[in-house]
Amino acid sequence: MTVNMQHNVRIPRSVRTPFLPVLLLITAGFLSGCSNKSVSANSTSMPPMPVSVVEIAPADVGVASEWVGTMDGFVNAQIQPQASGYLIRQLYKEGSQVAKDQVLFEIDPRPFQAVLDQAEGQLGQAKAQLALAEINVKRDTPLSEAHAIARSQLDTEIQQEAQGEANVKTAEAAVEAAQLNLSFCQVRSLISGVAGQATVQVGNLVNAQSVLTSVSQLNPIKVYFSISDSEYLALTHQAAKGDGDLLTAAANVPLALTLSNGDQYPAKGHIAFVDRQVNAQTGAIRIAAAFPNPNNILRPGQFGRVKANTQIRHNAILVPQAAVVEFQGLQQVYTVTQDNKVHIANVTLGPQYGSDWIVNSGLPANARVIIDNLQKLREGAVVSPQAVAPQSSQASTVPQSAGR
């Protein structure tokens, strides 16, 4: 017996309507279950995130301090005349290098030449009077011994001879003073250096109070900076450990100079002197450093930053700046454990050293520090660490002079 199962069976609308939502819910649940299984399968198959890590190696580093400095000539001389008169010549080029005793200005010499001529004339008269007195004494001495003339006459002539000698010395001194005043008409530089702009013009009447220009010795050049009272005491305490004072100890510490445009000055400097007192208003003491300046590149009035190693940190732990993040006022470093899991360490940072931070506490000496993908990591996440070489500042050693 054959039964035909291919007949179309129509379900009335009144019957279909109640079952339609049920069928939709069943279908959605089935699809959702399949999707969850697919996501779960994908999540378990994702590989650990690759991260770059730096292995921390303790090192002895010099902690540097930096101060803002102002440059000034090693010697600054104001050029002022010692004679009064009209300026008739300027014999140097402004801003040029001048030598010691080089003539920079000339004052009208005619009044001083006249005084010199008068002094020389008076000297001639004094010498003539002295010569006459000497002749009289020489002639009358034997006559007085022979009692041909009175002894009082010879005594008078001897007194005139002594007065003549004094008059000659006075006249010679007047001539020397007149010659000196005449030489002052040529205003000379007392030092070798760079001459500045002239503050007077040819034709001006000048005197001993007039400043004609300034000459500065620029090689070496001084850089003035100030350190706080607490810094000074700390440095003095460190110097005392080495059986010396601050100036002696600091003379062996090279100073680095960074110019205002960020360039590093190639030559190293040293401390030239420490001021005698602390400024009561600022609580700082002034220090002068000397830097070689053979090409006169550095000029008075420029600003720069002076840096020096003021402390040695033994077995310091350094981490790159990129490895440090701040979270709610805490400084944190992401590290990798032995089983390649992320551990977030709260650290206390010390001073900066090059491109790294010195960690005072919170990080073991053998830690592996993560330096990238920090925003994607969480505590306990499994990662794939890739070791990278440390930065140059972390691998550097303490200079020998800094450790003295």
pLDDT of residue 354: 76
Any domain includes 300: yes
Any domain includes 267: yes
**399 pLDDT tier (thresholds 50, 70, 90):** very low
Query: Alpha-carbon distance 207 to 108, whole Å?
Result: 12
pLDDT exceeding 90 applies to what percent of the chain?
50
What's the angle, vertex CA 77, arms to CA 73 and CA 82, rounded to 5? 175
Query: Alpha-carbon distance 263 to 247, whole Å?
Result: 27
Any domain includes 195: yes
> Is 197 in the same domain as 94?
yes
| pLDDT tens sequence across 129-178 | 999 999 999 998 998 888 888 899 889 999 999 999 999 999 999 999 99
| pLDDT tens sequence across 234-288 | 777 766 665 455 556 666 678 999 999 999 999 999 988 888 899 889 889 999 9
Q: Which helix (DSSP H) or strand (DSSP E) does residue 132 occupy?
A: helix 110-145
pLDDT of residue 62: 75
Any domain includes 185: yes
In CATH, what number is assigned to the domain containing residue 385? 2.40.420.20
Any domain includes 31: no
Query: Alpha-carbon distance 208 to 210, whole Å?
Result: 6
Of 265, 333, 350, nearest to 299 by C-alpha is: 265
102 lies in which domain range? 82-213
Last residue of a domain, one of 312, 339, 371: 312
Any domain includes 262: yes
pLDDT of residue 39: 45
| Number of structural domains found in the chain | 3
> Is 189 in the same domain as 98?
yes
In CATH, what number is assigned to the domain containing residue 263? 2.40.30.170
> Is 87 in the same domain as 207?
yes
> Is 204 in the same domain as 96?
yes
Provide the angle, in degrees to the nearest 10, between the axes of the packed helices 110-145 and 151-183: 160
pLDDT of residue 396: 44
> Is 358 in the same domain as 321?
yes
> Is 320 in the same domain as 307?
no
Lowest mean pLDDT among 42-51, 93-102, 137-146: 42-51
> Is 223 in the same domain as 208?
no
Lowest mean pLDDT among 194-198, 210-214, 233-237, 319-323: 233-237
| pLDDT tens sequence across 336-353 | 999 999 999 999 998 888
Question: Is a pLDDT exceeding 70 seen at residue 404?
Answer: no
Token output for 5: 């199962």
Under 8 Å CB-to-CB from 257, ≥6 apart: which residues?
69, 223, 264, 265, 267, 269, 289, 291, 304, 305, 306, 307
Any domain includes 33: no
In CATH, what number is assigned to the domain containing residue 157? 2.40.50.100
Last residue of a domain, one of 173, 195, 213: 213
Under 8 Å CB-to-CB from 214, ≥6 apart: which residues?
76, 77, 78, 79, 195, 196
pLDDT of residue 75: 93
> Is 281 in the same domain as 361?
no
| pLDDT tens sequence across 11-39 | 445 444 454 444 444 455 544 554 454 44
> Is 254 in the same domain as 306?
yes
